[in-house]
Structure 1
Amino acid sequence: MTVAAGTVPRPERSIDIYRRALTWLETHLPGGWSVSSDRPRSPAAPNRLLVTAPDGDSVSFAIVASKGVLSGDVARIAAELSDSDRGFVCAHYLSEPVRRQLDGHGISYADATGNVSLVADRPAIWVRNRGADADPWRGPGRPSGVLTGEPSERVVRALADHAGQMSVPELIKLSGASTGAAYRVVEVLFERELVSRLPRGPITEVRWEHMLRAWAADRKPCPTRGFAAPAGLDELRARLAAADGALGYAVTGIGATDYATPVVLEVYADDVDAFAAALELRPVDGGADVVVATPWSSVVFDRMQHRDGLHCVAPSHAYADLVAGPFRHPDAAEYLLTTMTTDETSWRRAVRRAR
């Protein structure tokens, strides 16, 4: 059994990619064997996978979750694993050449189409399944050089939020993106003339306004759900301020600016159901005064600002949200852009270098 195009949505978040891959792995594990993992903050994937034999003996794998893995990434993944560690790569799809290279490096893997390989010497286990031979979600003529996915979000936000020359290794540390992904995103930005870079040297200029607009246009909108606040938005804001960030949220859109008092509160939430339940929000099909989005990446919670006691996305993220997507508001976007351009030092941080 494999995934057929159009039958199953393509997993986008790291946690969803991991869960889909894990489902395939669990399906093909021998009887009595089990898997478990640590629990990081969604939407990130876990860091470690533990596979346990019927007698209780277990083996641990370092999880590498990525939307796409290219042949050139495998050597890097292998090099980043310690000599004593085992790797388990998860992706929405792993091509046959990539699977061969992973096998050659002794790295286990599973993708969302059912391609699975899990190998360990102690306890001894060998699991194998063949899934799709082609990416079922890749449409004809799919464009390259676009700023989509978590690595793009992390790199674009880090470049926008920091000022000064920056080497790619420094960018990798600031963004949290993997080495290979960061280099690929920088190449796209350079080709689209959104950044300037010295040959084999640092990034010397970031055209952050154009970069944020390009990212906003390319990225896939987050899924949203509408709710009603029974006691009104003023009471809801007071409860959010009192929660002091314990609910895992970030206000975006007009509410993250001083453009105007919003009539609809637009929010990202780490767990939409838990957020709504804690605030006693009521789901509605129309006329919502609270719109809650599920973020593709935890980058929405990076470098947040605080306004009137509320946790809000960084100005760079608010601007991108106002430019395009479900929180679009052109007038507020231009207002915020003027504020950001007038005083970049109020929101862009200087790159700190180790001494």
Structure 2
Amino acid sequence: MADVAPNPRPERSIDIYRRSAAWLEENLPPGWSMSSDRPRSPAAPNRLLITAPDGESVSYAIIARKGVLSGDVARIASELSDSDRGFVCAHYLSDPVRRQLDGHGISYGDATGNVSLLATRPTIWVRNRGADADPWRGPGRPSGVLTGEPSERVVRALADYVGEMSVPELIKLSGTSTGAAYRVVEVLYERELLTRLPRGPITDVRWPHMLRAWAADRKPCPTRGFAAPGGLDDLLARLAATDGDPGYAVTGIGATDYATPAVLEVYADDVDAFAAAMDLRPIDGGADVMVATPWSAVVFERMQYRNGLRCVAPAHAYADLAAGPFRHPDAAEYLLTTLTTDEPAWRRPVRRTR
């Protein structure tokens, strides 16, 4: 294991790259060399070139990140062309992330000395072990995973609202405690899902990537299957006629215009009360209604209305379609395209009171 010096954690992309590249260069075989282009600081270089003693070389796309989690690796792999190689560098890469990168054939290095570089032509394999734990993560620092009610509330607020936003404004919009909101913002910042001025406001949110990360991280809600004796058309008509009781929010395909759902997917604040009010019958298989108990009441906030039905907000519908018990990848991508094409239709401007 590498002896990791207690240096300050690198924050700029160029410093993350330099620290990782230094470990890589130290572990290259004799006669091999490395070089990179020279972009303007603080950006990291775009390409890494590894050259063999006979002059043959191999090029890698440099992907510098403050933090990388397991859920990010598939997206990084998808953004690389089939013919390109990637070199991911970060201040620290955990063992699960390194194994994910290995599985996708992506080379990497971090500032603690964890290094893996692979190529078949010229043939090279470099491996070095650095830290087994993030040496810069102190007590109370966020875990880096977007799970739990604070994450749901903060992510939803950042997706639902558009415009420069201070963290105190985010706290008010999301209904999250001060400490929890700052922790989630730090996780999103480390994963480069938002841009924030030093000690200042959030200026930009990469909301499609943020929603993908949230969907991948969160735990699926418990669900129960039911049969609607009168059929879905009758159930939909009855739901549209309700005036607030029982509390529900349609999600999944039913919250989009992608297709007519064969199974209606719903959140209910009291599953038993909802089932009783709608005369639903519990069933083990072949259910045409799936009812979920939400982790957070945020599913009932900033809802959209479709054909008289109360539906979850578009951002929540996308996350449900992207992962979890209501997963439908084709519908998720359809909805994401729709949301990207017409952001003003669903993202609300941040309104400030004087």
Please say whether Structure 1 and Structure 2 have the same fold, judged by a TM-score greater than 0.5.
Answer: yes
Structure 1 runs not aligned, ≥5 long? 1-142
Partners in 2 of 1:223 and 1:187 — Cα distance? 29
Question: What TM-score do the two structures reach when normalised by structure 1?
Answer: 0.60
Structure 1 counterpart of 2:25:
none
Structure 2 counterpart of 1:160:
159
Q: Give 1:233 deviation, angstroms.
A: 0.1
Q: Give 1:244 deviation, angstroms.
A: 2.7
Structure 1 counterpart of 2:42:
none
Q: Give 1:354 deviation, angstroms.
A: 1.1
Partners in 2 of 1:245 and 1:147 — Cα distance? 30
Corresponding position: 1:335 with 2:311: no
SS in 2 for 1:157: helix
Corresponding position: 1:151 with 2:150: yes
Q: Give 1:177 deviation, angstroms.
A: 0.3
Structure 2 counterpart of 1:89:
none
SS in 1 for 2:155: helix
Asked if 2 retains the 8 angstrom alpha-carbon contact of 1:255 and 1:261, the reply is yes
Corresponding position: 1:172 with 2:171: yes
Structure 2 counterpart of 1:130:
none
Partners in 2 of 1:246 and 1:223 — Cα distance? 21
Partners in 1 of 2:266 and 2:243 — Cα distance? 15
SS in 2 for 1:187: helix
Q: Give 1:268 deviation, angstroms.
A: 0.1
Q: Which amino acid counterpart does residue 269 of structure 1 have in structure 2?
A: A
Structure 1 counterpart of 2:266:
267
Q: Which amino acid counterpart does residue 278 of structure 1 have in structure 2?
A: A
SS in 2 for 1:266: strand
Q: Which amino acid counterpart does residue 258 of structure 1 have in structure 2?
A: D
Partners in 2 of 1:286 and 1:246 — Cα distance? 27
Partners in 1 of 2:338 and 2:251 — Cα distance? 16
Q: Give 1:245 deviation, angstroms.
A: 2.8
Structure 1 counterpart of 2:183:
184
Structure 1 counterpart of 2:321:
322
Query: Runs of 4 or more off by more than 6 Å in structure 1?
Result: none
Structure 1 counterpart of 2:234:
235
Asked if 2 retains the 8 angstrom alpha-carbon contact of 1:245 and 1:311, the reply is no
Partners in 2 of 1:178 and 1:281 — Cα distance? 37
Corresponding position: 1:193 with 2:183: no
Structure 2 counterpart of 1:305:
304
Structure 1 counterpart of 2:216:
217
**Cα offsets for 1:244-298 (capped at 9, x unmatched):** 3321000000000000000000000000000000011000000000000000000
Partners in 2 of 1:202 and 1:242 — Cα distance? 43
Asked if 2 retains the 8 angstrom alpha-carbon contact of 1:154 and 1:177, the reply is yes
Q: Which amino acid counterpart does residue 338 of structure 1 have in structure 2?
A: T
Structure 1 counterpart of 2:45:
none
SS in 1 for 2:209: helix
SS in 2 for 1:211: helix
Asked if 2 retains the 8 angstrom alpha-carbon contact of 1:266 and 1:327, the reply is yes
Partners in 2 of 1:317 and 1:216 — Cα distance? 9
Asked if 2 retains the 8 angstrom alpha-carbon contact of 1:305 and 1:311, the reply is yes
Partners in 2 of 1:176 and 1:269 — Cα distance? 20
RMSD, aligned α-carbons = 0.8
Asked if 2 retains the 8 angstrom alpha-carbon contact of 1:250 and 1:267, the reply is yes
Partners in 1 of 2:336 and 2:191 — Cα distance? 21
SS in 2 for 1:245: coil
What is the percent sequence identity of the aligned residues?
85
